[in-house]
Each structure stands twice: as C-alpha cells, then as structure tokens.
Amino acid sequence: MIKKTLQEIAQMIKVENDLSSFPETAIHGVSIDSRKIAKGNLFIPFKGENFDGHRFVEDALRKGAAAAFWQEDVPNPPFHLPIILVEDTLTALQELARSYRNELKVKTVGITGSNGKTTTKDITANLLSLKYKVQKTEGNYNNHIGLPLTILALEEDTEIAVLEMGMSGRGEIDFLTNLARPEAVIITNIGESHLQDLGSREGIAEAKLEIVNGIQDNGLVIYYGDEPLLNEKLKSYTDSAALRTFGRTGKNDVFPIEINQNDSGSTFKINASNQEFYLPVLGTHNVLNALAAMIAASHFGVPYENMNEGFSSLKLTNMRMELLEGQNGEKIINDAYNASPTSMNAAIELIANLPGYKKKIIVLGDMLELGPQEEEFHLAIGKSVDAEKIDYVFTFGELGEIIAKGAKQSLPADRVFAYTDKQPLIEELKKHVDKETIVLVKASRGIKLEQVVTALQ
C-alpha cells in the first residue's frame, strides 16, 4: 500500500496548505470509512448533498489515522491536526492514485463487460498468481472511487494487478483505463445492463470499448469473439495492441472443444492445448470467462499445462454461482449478486441441464436498469423456461410478476408462484425442497434475494 510522508504527498498532488508543521508524519494506506480506520491511514472524507464525511475527520484521527484530506470549501479545517487541504477530496484521491500508479513497476490487466467481470477477475488473478505476485480488485471496488482505492492498496513489489472496471455511463471506463494503464484488457461480453442509461446494446459496446483507450504499447485486447458488435467495432482498430478472441465457436482464437458439467464445476478441453481442465465453478458461461483468463495468463507466460493448479484453488467473490446446502439437504445456487437477461438465461440454462437432481426450482427477481424494454425482457425470460427441465418457478418483485406471467405460458399455473413479499415466498418454497432438489436464486443486487438463500440454510 502507499507509504508516504505528508511532504511527499504534497509533491504528488496539489495541496493548498503548508504541511511543514508535520515534517515526519507519514501515512500507510488510505481509508474512506472512519469506522474502518487502520493505524497510519490517510482518511479521505467526501462531501455530498446529504452527507459530509468531514464530520468524522477528528474521530478518524483519534482512532489512529495519521492524516486526513480536507476539502477547501468546507469551513473550519482543524489545522492544528495533520490536515491536507485540497480543492476537491475525490479529485485528490484520484490524482494521488494516478501519481502512485505511475511510480510503480506493476503491470495491470483491466477487465470490463456486462456480465462476468468479477468471476473473470478472480480466475485471471489465480492463474497469474502461479508465476507472479498478484493483487486484484476486492469486492466491488471497480468505479471512480473503488479503482483509485485499489491502486493505492497495491504493494510496491506487486508484479501484476488485475483490475475490474465497471460503469453506468459513457466516459467512465475511459477514465478508469487511463488511470490504470493496462498491458492487457478483457471484454467479457456485451449484455443489456445499463440500457436505461446508454439506450442500446451498441451504446453499451461503445462504452465498454473505452477500455482500449488506456492500453499500453504492444498490449493485448482479449474479447468475446461471438459478439458481432465487438467484432464490427474492432475491425477498424489500428493501434499497436494485439487482438485475441474467445468464445463458443471455432472462429475464435481460443474455444472449447468439449465441456462436461457436474454439480460442482466443469471439465473442459480447448483447441489451444491437449490438457483437460477442471474449473470448480458452475456454468458454461464461466468456462468462457475462464478462456479469457487463460489467454491473459498465457500472454504473461503462464503455461496452459500449469493452469489446473490455478483453477484448483479458486475462490469466487460471494453470491456468484455459489453452491450451498439448505436445511433439508437441498442444493442452492446463490447467484443473487446481479442479473441481466444474458446472465439470467445462462443461469437457467445451467440448472436446466445439470444432471443428478430429481427436482429443479428457479427463484428469480427483478432485473434492474434495463430501460424502456424491461417488461419485454422479463416476459421473455419467463417464456424461455423449459417445462420439461424446470419443475417450479418462483418470482419476487413487480417485474418478477412479469417473469411469472411468461412462465405460465410454458408451465402449468400451479407450478408458478409470484410474490412481492419474501416471507410467503420462503414459506411456500420450503414446502417443495428436499435432498434431491436444486434451487437457483438470481436477481439484481437491489432486490436482495440472498435473503431467500439465508432463510433456506
């Protein structure tokens, strides 16, 4: 993590006050949460319309922070304490991260896409760890605040940083990639998330492709080659980075030639190696995520024949295809962190084709940020449910009711349950599960459908 004296920080960013009264004061890492201050941290308060973190500056310093930023338009800075006065605390955080990143010898891999960013990040970091000291984005620290914090948490001897880049609108990925300056980037796919803000899948593709703007000379762009929008837009790419594709079809540089699924993962073979691989993560879509990670790892000199070792120790961020067991012995796939039509269809396809269970139940909630077509997308999800492979459909939320409406066109009405209250959903669901049942739980994060998972355990 960043370790600097206040005088050194004054050389890295624009500081508005004299820090000579604290010549020996040094910071070790940064924090934006006064409740989680570690000794020596630089505390960074933010000022918003309805909150002001400056109220917690003195408390943070009492708890062990070495210093704190202070935004110059906030009155009464406590200059008797180690305060760094800046024009804007968010901009100062970002510029401190930029300056620190420019000092480091670390190489970076940037990852974006509509779905699968976090899983691909986790897999990529594991594979690269076979050869390098690696750090990665923790949790969902993938935006204009989270990425700077991730960079400032990098150790000076970290060799590769795997950085997730999220967005809600145009220009955001451009900012992040120019901050990170990646040697390689991965675009996992183009889905429907953020249609509300970007208007079309083409708009989403353009926003995601901003990630190539920060790539270093002779870098590598890895992207989902079965996506026509990406192929079309990268046709005219003329910079020095190489282009490599992954996907289901044989037209890609790397593709699966065999995939076999069980209830704990996937065995697969690829065209680029004679090795058989085992990925302890559910879903064909996650095999595709693994292919992207494998291309990146190979680019940095990790041999394909060693990659099973990286897969074997893989631990995904919570609520991504997380396999759990319920009170009655039922298996539960907790995929409640996020949802879009693309990822919802992939999860339903997984459970529909998973062998070894007599009863299969899907619990689906609202998919958010889909814009004017949201009802159409939810209805299509319901209609797509195969009555021969799925036994019961439970839905939660107002848009979930539209999924249920579509499902009733495929399944008998007595096998479809729609709720806007989680408690009766949970009570009815518990009547249908036993040790030969598998349950998929999936919705957008704001729906908090993991509460259903917790209730089953």
pTM of the model: 0.83
The tokens for 383 are 């209609």
Q: Which residues contact 391 (CB under 8 A, 6 or more apart)?
A: 359, 360, 361, 415, 432
Three-state DSSP state, 290: helix
Chain Cα centroid distance, residue 395: 25
Residue 199, pLDDT score: 66
Residue 23, pLDDT score: 86
Least confident of 123-132, 137-146, 378-387: 137-146
The tokens for 74 are 């906030």
* Adjacent-strand bridge partners of 121: none
Residue 292, pLDDT score: 98
Q: Do residues 391 and 415 make contact, with C-beta atoms less than 8 angstroms apart? A: yes
Question: Is the pLDDT at 146 greater than 80, yes or no?
Answer: yes
Residue 194, pLDDT score: 57
* Average pLDDT score, the chain: 93
Question: Is the pLDDT at 407 greater than 60, yes or no?
Answer: yes
Number of H helices, E strands in the chain: 16, 21
pLDDT digits (tens, 9 = 90+) for 55-66: 999 999 999 999
Q: Which residues contact 420 (CB under 8 A, 6 or more apart)?
A: 396, 397, 398, 400, 401
Residue 204 buriedness (CB in 10 A; 0-12 / 13-18 / 19+): buried
pLDDT digits (tens, 9 = 90+) for 300-332: 999 999 999 999 988 876 667 788 899 999 999
Question: Is the pLDDT at 32 greater than 60, yes or no?
Answer: yes
List C-alpha distances in Å: 32 to 212, 232, 248, 272: 29, 41, 42, 44
Question: Is the pLDDT at 445 greater than 60, yes or no?
Answer: yes
How far apart are alpha carbons 305 and 127 in whole angstroms?
11
List C-alpha distances in Å: 345 to 285, 434, 442: 10, 25, 11
Q: pLDDT band at residue 429, thresholds of 50, 70 and 90?
A: very high
Number of residues written out for the chain: 457
Residue 169, pLDDT score: 83
Query: Average pLDDT for residues 426-445, to the nearest whole number?
Result: 94
Beta strands (DSSP E) in 344-449 are 359-365, 392-396, 416-419, 437-442
Q: Do residues 158 and 133 make contact, with C-beta atoms less than 8 angstroms apart? A: yes
Domains of the chain: 3-89 (3.40.1390.10), 104-312 (3.40.1190.10), 322-456 (3.90.190.20)
Question: Is the pLDDT at 371 greater than 90, yes or no?
Answer: no
Q: Who wins on pLDDT, 299 or 168?
A: 299
How far apart are alpha carbons 30 and 53 in whole angstroms?
14
Residue 140, pLDDT score: 80
How far apart are alpha carbons 264 and 379 in whole angstroms?
30
List C-alpha distances in Å: 445 to 123, 368, 415, 417: 22, 9, 26, 21
Three-state DSSP state, 383: helix
pLDDT digits (tens, 9 = 90+) for 156-208: 999 999 999 998 788 999 999 999 999 999 999 987 765 666 668 888 899 99
Residue 196, pLDDT score: 62
Q: Which residues contact 199 (CB under 8 A, 6 or more apart)?
A: 371
Q: pLDDT band at residue 253, thresholds of 50, 70 and 90?
A: very high
Chain Cα centroid distance, residue 182: 17
How far apart are alpha carbons 40 and 38 in whole angstroms?
6
Q: Which residues contact 24 (CB under 8 A, 6 or more apart)?
A: 5
Which residue from 279, 285, 264, 455 is spatially nearest to 363, judged by alpha carbons? 455
Residue 369, pLDDT score: 82
The tokens for 304 are 């394909």
Q: Give percent of the chain with pLDDT exceeding 70.
A: 98
Q: Which residues contact 119 (CB under 8 A, 6 or more apart)?
A: 281, 286, 289, 316, 317, 320, 321
